Amino acid sequence: MDAFKGLPEARVISDPSDLAPFLQDESHLRGILPLAVVKPHGPAALRELVRRAKAEGFGLVPRGAGTGKAGGCLPTERTVVVDFSEWPGEIQVSPQDLCLRAPASAPLRDVKAAAEARGLFYPPDPNSWESCALGGTLATNAGGPNACKYGMTRHWVLAVDALLEDGELHTFGISSVKANAGPSLGQLLIGSEGLFGFITGATLRLTPLPREYTTLLLPVKRWEDLLELPGRLCGAGYLPSAFEFFDPAVLAELRAHGPEEARRLPGEALAILEFDDRGSTSDAFLEGLLDLLGPVADQLEVASDARQRQGIWAVRRMTSVFLKERHPRKVSEDIVVPRSRLREFFAGVGRLDIPAVTYGHLGDGNLHVNLLAAGETDPALLDRQLMDLFSLAISLGGTLSGEHGIGLAKRDAFLALSDPGHIRTLRALKQALDPQGIFNPGKMV
Ligand code: 2HG
Ligand code: ZN
């Protein structure tokens, strides 16, 4: 498209045959052919893109590494994809300030490794951590197993650099946890999925790297017992750094069709627990823990070295990819219910007859309910099943998305099921911050 000729500080892709990869992410959705894909290399490109978007009435869709699960980076009608993979910048760690600065383009694995090289820890660990870009994790407020103890991406962001609708880059926040000069506009941008502006970099909070891990593979004799465990552990003063699980249905799928190591998985249902506190490898800690886990366990396994720990995690890490390869048109959700309502939730799923397999982050109630047959299900029926699922989670004090976000995938349900005041407020903010609606149009609200 001629509109992109002579765009400064940028690489432009506009040949339709090169645009196909930008029509998808890791959701089940597909985008519309964009006008072009622009890879900005500096602020002049962004300034000019914003100017032309306003003047010519097209939208701008942000993209990181395309690993999102809700279609947030997919192009909608008359949009240009702004792909931040070539955005410049270095990762700079400051041990004195317990933080690091990184551009949106930095691979999350490099961010985590840079912290680790200085004996520090950046906890957010979405399943895509080896392939996703930092910018995407900020825009979607990514979660992961460690959120159980450490919270979400937003809890680790001190400052945000962002492109706003004036076409300029602005920084919100400082390199300290104490910054209280008014409400945090940086936090407003985290998890906003590019609705209010585009994040180009951030200053992230770090913490000392854990030095010891106790990792357990916990098969249970009775599935229902597992559902009580997150609450019981917390009640007894144990806070796992991860508490992952597989329900009987997903376990059956893995055993029947998964790779070799998955075929040997024991138990009616299965959990992976990890503790990273100082002292968590001591006999006293383990004895106390085993008192709690012993009665529900069926051949508990404790990893005694890094290789065994890796082995336990490998099965969990490959689950999402395995299911997607086997059921390419599956729909995967990420509802949340409070730990104390897990049993009621699964009873509800059974009553509603929602055909799903479930795994995920039991420790914080963030459950990946996967409808494997979605591609072959009548769309009206599928819609009803999903609305039932979301309504059930909400009725138990939960929400329809714990970590993947709304994007396109959950937009209708989000609009239908949210408190009207919430939607009104988001729309008012959108109107104030992006009156011409150039940023990620057609998403979320
Ligand atoms: C995970 O925890 C990811 O594995 C993906 O959030 C979940 O694909 C899924 O259902
Ligand atoms: Zn997850």
Helix and strand tally (H, E) in the chain? Answer: 14, 19
Q: In this structure, which residue's CA is closest to atom 1 in ligand 1?
A: 127
Residue 332 Cβ inside 6 Å of ligand 1? The answer reads yes
Q: How far apart are CA 433 and CA 13, in angstroms?
A: 28
Question: Is residue 51 exposed (0-12), middle (13-18) or buried (19+ Cβ within 10 Å)?
Answer: exposed
Cβ–ligand 1 distance for 368 under 6 Å, the answer yes
Q: Is residue 360 one of the residues assigned to a domain? A: yes
All residue ranges of the chain with pLDDT < 50 are none
Tokens in use for 290? 């085993």
Number of domains in the chain: 4
Residue 74 lies in a domain: yes
Q: What is the pLDDT of residue 357?
A: 98
Residue 152 sits in a domain whose CATH number is: 3.30.465.10
Query: CB of 370 closer than 6 A to ligand 1?
Result: yes
Tokens representing residue 70 in the block: 């809700």
pLDDT at res. 304: 86
Q: What spacing in Å lies between the alpha carbon of 359 and ligand 2's midpoint?
A: 9
Q: Is residue 166 part of a domain?
A: yes
Is 360 close to ligand 1, i.e. is its CB under 6 Å away? yes
Q: Answer whether 386's CB lies under 8 Å from 346's CB.
A: no
What count of Cα atoms within 13 Å lies in the side-chain half-sphere of residue 404?
34
In a domain, 440, yes or no: no
Q: Determine the Cα–Cα distance for residues 232 and 292; give it in Å rounded to an integer.
A: 8
Residue 365 lies in a domain: yes
Point out the ligand nearest to the CA of residue 370. 1
Regarding the beta carbon of 128 and ligand 1, being less than 6 Å apart is answered no
Ligand nearest to the CA of 318: 1
Q: Could you tell me the residue range of the domain that residue 290 belongs to? A: 210-256+270-318
Instruction: Among the bound ligands, name the one nearest to the CA of residue 147.
Output: 2
Q: What is the CATH number of the domain that holds 283?
A: 3.30.70.2190
